[in-house]
């Protein structure tokens, strides 16, 4: 899935001024968002922004794979600062609470088989409800069979993702904070022969209003003909859900949609609910290809509107 190259030129006004004759070659959707602007920019053409699960563990790499999470590019996907204290354990176990069975060995956390399950890390800065976060960690599996790992957050230990794996490696997952919390927990307690190491644990803010769907059977499919890229649903209940800031309910917004093979639509409208179900709204039906979706919480200038229309038409194949 190729990315369009973004060539930055002299400032935002120059990007949208009369000196630019080909906005498709110069603009990305994030370029429309000034500091403080809110919204969402979903671009099915961009590589690396679609994942098969809602927690972003397995990238979408081929046609007909399900899309459980799609990253919003409106804020540029620039990660925030590190929130984990001593995630590489260079400071021993400072910042971590180890249940029975966990210990520090060779600068890594070791989990012994048939042990209590949790290791808890205290964040240097709390995670905030309503925001998305990226976690990374290194897992070394030395068990005789697959190893289960669950990431939990908060003092109550709410699970945000879980996976079984035989494979040692570097892992990335993305999760939505439904509540404020100051603690992350890794649970390796089942099956009882789990044994392995954890290291290089990281949690960072991933800005944006990302689109996801928890239930596997409701996920639309990624489609491509080798040139164009789009999402397609079953026309019944496939969906992706975006939760926008409450401040976007009421004011006039600019909304743009690109459907494969059709002229892009750019309108001004308002929202009555910040929780958006894209399946029914964008017509996730067989044969209807959703190639891009864009919302920003302000009216665009004439030059910006023309540039957005050109970008959306390019995604639609026009």
**Cβ-count burial 122-157 (b if 16+ within 10 Å, e if not):** ebeeebeeeebbbbbbbbebebeeebbbbbbbbeeb
| CATH number assigned to the domain with residue range 96-205, chosen from the 4 options 3.40.718.10, 2.60.420.10, 2.60.120.260, 3.30.43.10 | 2.60.120.260
Closest C-alpha to 275, from 221, 211, 232: 211
Other beta carbons within 10 angstroms of residue 95's beta carbon come to 16
Q: Residue holding tokens 């001004």? A: 268
Q: Is the whole-model pTM more than 0.75? A: yes
* Tens digit of pLDDT at every position of the chain (318 positions): 333 333 333 344 455 554 445 556 567 899 899 889 999 999 998 878 999 999 888 899 999 999 999 999 999 999 999 999 899 999 999 999 888 888 899 899 988 877 667 788 888 888 888 899 999 999 887 766 667 777 877 766 677 777 767 678 888 889 888 888 888 888 776 666 678 888 999 999 999 999 999 999 999 999 999 899 999 999 889 999 999 999 999 999 999 999 999 999 999 999 999 999 998 888 788 888 999 999 999 998 888 888 899 899 999 998
Q: What is the pLDDT at residue 294? A: 96
Spell out the alpha helix ranges (H) of the chain: 11-15, 23-26, 278-282, 302-316
Q: Where do the domains of the chain lie?
A: 11-49+62-70+217-316, 96-205
């Amino acid at each position: 899935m190729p990315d369009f190259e973004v060539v930055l030129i002299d400032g935002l006004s120059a990007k949208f001024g009369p000196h630019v004759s080909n906005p498709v070659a110069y603009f990305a959707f994030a370029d429309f968002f000034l500091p403080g602007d809110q919204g969402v920019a979903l671009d099915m053409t961009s590589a690396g922004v679609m994942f098969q699960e809602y927690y972003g563990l397995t990238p979408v790499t081929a046609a007909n794979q399900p899309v459980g999470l799609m990253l919003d590019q409106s804020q540029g996907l620039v990660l925030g600062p590190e929130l984990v204290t001593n995630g590489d354990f260079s400071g021993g176990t400072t910042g971590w609470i180890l249940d029975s069975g966990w210990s520090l060995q060779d600068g890594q956390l070791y989990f012994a088989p048939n042990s209590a399950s949790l290791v808890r890390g205290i964040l240097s800065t709390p995670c905030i409800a309503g925001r998305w976060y990226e976690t990374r960690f290194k897992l070394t599996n030395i068990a005789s069979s697959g190893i289960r790992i669950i990431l939990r957050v908060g003092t109550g230990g709410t699970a945000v993702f879980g996976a079984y794996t035989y494979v040692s490696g570097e892992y990335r997952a993305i999760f939505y904070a439904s509540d404020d919390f100051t603690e992350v927990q890794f649970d390796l307690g089942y099956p009882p022969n789990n044994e392995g190491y954890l290291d290089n644990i990281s949690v960072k803010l991933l800005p944006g209003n990302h689109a996801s769907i928890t239930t596997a059977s409701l996920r639309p499919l990624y489609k491509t003909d080798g040139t164009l890229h789009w999402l397609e649903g079953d026309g019944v209940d496939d969906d992706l859900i975006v939760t926008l800031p409450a401040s976007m309910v009421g004011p006039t917004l600019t909304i743009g949609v690109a459907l494969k093979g059709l002229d892009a639509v750019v309108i001004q409208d308002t929202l009555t609910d910040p929780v958006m179900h894209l399946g029914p709204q964008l017509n996730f039906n067989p044969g209807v290809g959703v190639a891009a979706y864009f919302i920003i919480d302000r009216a665009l200038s004439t030059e910006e509107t023309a540039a957005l229309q050109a970008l959306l038409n390019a995604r639609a194949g026009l």
